[in-house]
Amino acid sequence: FGDQVPTIEDMIPEYVMIVSTLIDCKVDIFLCETLSTCREAIAILRALSQSNSRNIPIWVSYTIKDDISNELRSGDSLMDACSQIIKLASSLKLPLEAIGVNCSSPSAISKALLCISPLVSGSGLKLCAYGNCFQTTTSEWMASLNGDNDKQKESKRVTSAEEYDHNGYLLPEAYARYAREWAALGAQIIGG
């Protein structure tokens, strides 16, 4: 996955254009989500540092593998990626307000929050979490798009099949249980 993402230097001009347009539209927040590599977040923060967006809050959210490895889809360590972004935002004097995980299985998000909550504890940063609600994991779906049936079979689904309805959607009471778990783990921003 990570090999499909351009270099930081190649992404910055694109992000500068996006940031400029969003500032012109008077956005309230920069929600940088479903990032599969750390270098995407680095490029976004560098683009933001080149703009006059200094007082607009920034949220960074990564998508992780649907197992309990705490790895981004690129294979990068979630803990390392979050740590790098927190340090970079601070050094660039950017208003990073929240960091977290999205577009991943609910149980993988729970494990991820356990991993990154110590990074934000006492820092003033908020943790965010919002998961996928469908039984086919993003990892399985991506493997099927690439015709990689071996990877699809290898996928380690960690959310129980009993938590889904007959159409493969996560039951509302199951998502509510995960949301309560995420809150208990320190998440202050929870979505779905």
101-130 per-position pLDDT tens digit? 999 999 999 999 999 999 999 999 999 999
Predicted pLDDT of residue 61: 98
Q: Taking a C-beta distance cutoff of 8 angstroms, is the pair 100, 128 a contact? A: yes
Q: pLDDT confidence of 4, banded at 50, 70, 90?
A: confident
* Strand duo 96-102 + 30-35: pairing: unpaired
Residue 139 confidence (pLDDT) above 70: no
Predicted pLDDT of residue 154: 42
Q: Which of 1, 9, 55 is nearest to 30 (CA)?
A: 55
132-140: average pLDDT: 76
More reliable by pLDDT, 161 or 89 = 89
Q: pLDDT confidence of 138, banded at 50, 70, 90?
A: low
33-73 per-position pLDDT tens digit? 999 999 999 999 999 999 987 799 999 999 999 888 999 99
Structure tokens at 119: 């990074």
Phi-psi region of 186 (alpha: psi -120 to 50; beta: other; left: phi over 0): left
Predicted pLDDT of residue 153: 44
Would you give the DSSP letter of residue 106?
A: H
Predicted pLDDT of residue 134: 83
DSSP, collapsed to helix, strand or coil, labels residue 89 as helix
24-30: average pLDDT: 95
Structure tokens at 189: 């921003």
Structure tokens at 136: 């086919």
Structure tokens at 91: 């050094």
Q: Taking a C-beta distance cutoff of 8 angstroms, is the pair 164, 132 a contact? A: no
Structure tokens at 156: 């380690």
Measured between its terminal Cα atoms, the distance across the chain in Å is 24
Structure tokens at 151: 């990877």
